[in-house]
Structure 1
């Protein structure tokens, strides 16, 4: 053991340097695996408790990047521990600087993705588990944030892989960043001779049957789901546009509830004889 320590103190021949490098690489790999395992255990505990907070995003980013940063540290340990490398450190780093400039020019996108990923974790425009929308096609739940890209799980259970440099410059609609409550606009069309009061009553009754519905958080009316606002948005030559303003306490259920409500209201309109819109111009044309 003492002779091994003395050998590492000298590091003046090829085999001692090689053995030292192997040991450093091994312990770097082992350290990164242990850290990843511990972070994974913490994340699993949070997932089991259904906790979603900013620390989850930071932990996942750290888990994805621990090997990268550990490798950089290991590189400097080897350079400054081996006398022959240390003596030529100036030459190595001057050459590395030129090499880094060449690689940096050729890999601008990769570097910008890495920096953008760090900025996302630091400034937190969204976090792992958030429901975000970039446009009509890129919408879903943030599944992971790596050094290079952000993974979004859409509602078809498909993963959207978006480079960090792109998503960091996009306008992101975050449904759940501070508050999971959302106001949904639910539009209904009825005929110009329809009973508006009856149509409003049907919409309100069907809305109260839904889950996750709450009263307007800013309203002074008691929280009994009775404050469902249905307004006439416009009247045209063949239809009346009604809009129901519905508050929900879970943004993830918005699409499902809207589909259920559209179906149930349409069936009630048919059953109770609500006049439905007819496009007279299309009838005449046909």
Structure 2
């Protein structure tokens, strides 16, 4: 049947129509297979009373779509005489050409293998809040065959190749335990009353949401038990640090900003001496 098709595919429009039909069939087949697999997995997991891995399922769906398009491309090449003859010439050529093709595909293959390792070993999953460095931080939105998509807090998508992110040191805020310890630094004047400043910080912390006690002990409703340590004293300021446990890592940055503003206003209102660089006021 394939030979009968090849003899009829001679004009440009015949080849174009055949290519469109094959690609459409591959797309429909991919959609149908992905829909059926999703239904089967969800039904089995629900019967077992558990939950399915969104990361593994998305990676499987992307793999089916990718290989369906590859098969469609192979069918088109083998069915069109002009393309088949060129493909035969290319693959029957010298080993140098094969080496060039292999070198060009090296990055794609490494991304594919790295993506499979990410799905298998799960250093992070879809929906996790991760940090690579100060500029690359956000929520994992998708893991494809080639890259990982991270949605940062500016609602921008970071597209990072799997081969790169798999070799990075990743700080995962949500894997296993979503509770995080937030360091909040405050500076007061060298002659300020440390006890009053500590009390102000603790009172403002108690007004925040998602605040919990140290999870190493039982989590209680007492939000006033916040540890504020005296870190250091320099020639013009005192450094205080509040250690605050937060139950929701996505709220850490908002809470830190809100606490800094509220504590600053309370310091000014209640007359807490603020640090002044003495080197700048010498006459």
TM-score by length of structure 2 reads: 0.78
Listed as ranges, the matches of 1:59-98 within 5 Å are: 59-71=57-69, 95=92
Query: Residue in 2 aligned with 1:129?
Result: 127
- Kindly indicate whether the alpha-carbon contact (under 8 Å) linking 2:173 and 2:249 is maintained by their aligned counterparts in 1: yes
Tell me the SS of whatever aligns to 1:199.
Answer: helix
- Kindly indicate whether the alpha-carbon contact (under 8 Å) linking 1:216 and 1:227 is maintained by their aligned counterparts in 2: no
Residues 167, 17 of structure 1: CA spacing in aligned structure 2 closer, same or farther, 3 A cutoff? Answer: farther
Residues 73, 221 of structure 1: CA spacing in aligned structure 2 closer, same or farther, 3 A cutoff? Answer: closer
Query: Residue in 2 aligned with 1:146?
Result: 144
Instruction: Write the distance in 2 (CA, Å) between the matches of 1:276 and 1:41.
Output: 62
**Aligned residue among 267, 270, 275 for 2:268:** 270
Aligned residues: 257
User: Do structure 1's residue 164 and structure 2's residue 162 form an aligned pair?
Assistant: yes
- Kindly indicate whether the alpha-carbon contact (under 8 Å) linking 1:58 and 1:121 is maintained by their aligned counterparts in 2: yes
Deviation for aligned residue 1:211: 0.5
1:219-275 per-position Cα deviation (integer Å, ceiling 9, x unaligned): 358442132100001111111100000000000000000000000001111111111
Query: Residue in 1 aligned with 2:178?
Result: 180
User: Do structure 1's residue 118 and structure 2's residue 116 form an aligned pair?
Assistant: yes
Deviation for aligned residue 1:12: 5.7
Residues 17, 176 of structure 1: CA spacing in aligned structure 2 closer, same or farther, 3 A cutoff? Answer: farther
Residues 222, 114 of structure 1: CA spacing in aligned structure 2 closer, same or farther, 3 A cutoff? Answer: closer
1:179-224 per-position Cα deviation (integer Å, ceiling 9, x unaligned): 1110000000011111111111100000010011111111358442
Structure 2: where are the runs of 5+ without partners? 10-17, 42-50, 80-87
Give the RMSD, CA atoms, in angstroms. 3.4
- Kindly indicate whether the alpha-carbon contact (under 8 Å) linking 1:54 and 1:124 is maintained by their aligned counterparts in 2: no
TM-score by length of structure 1 reads: 0.77
Residues 106, 192 of structure 1: CA spacing in aligned structure 2 closer, same or farther, 3 A cutoff? Answer: same
Deviation for aligned residue 1:102: 3.2
Instruction: Write the distance in 1 (CA, Å) between the matches of 2:224 and 2:238.
Output: 23
Residues 196, 41 of structure 1: CA spacing in aligned structure 2 closer, same or farther, 3 A cutoff? Answer: farther
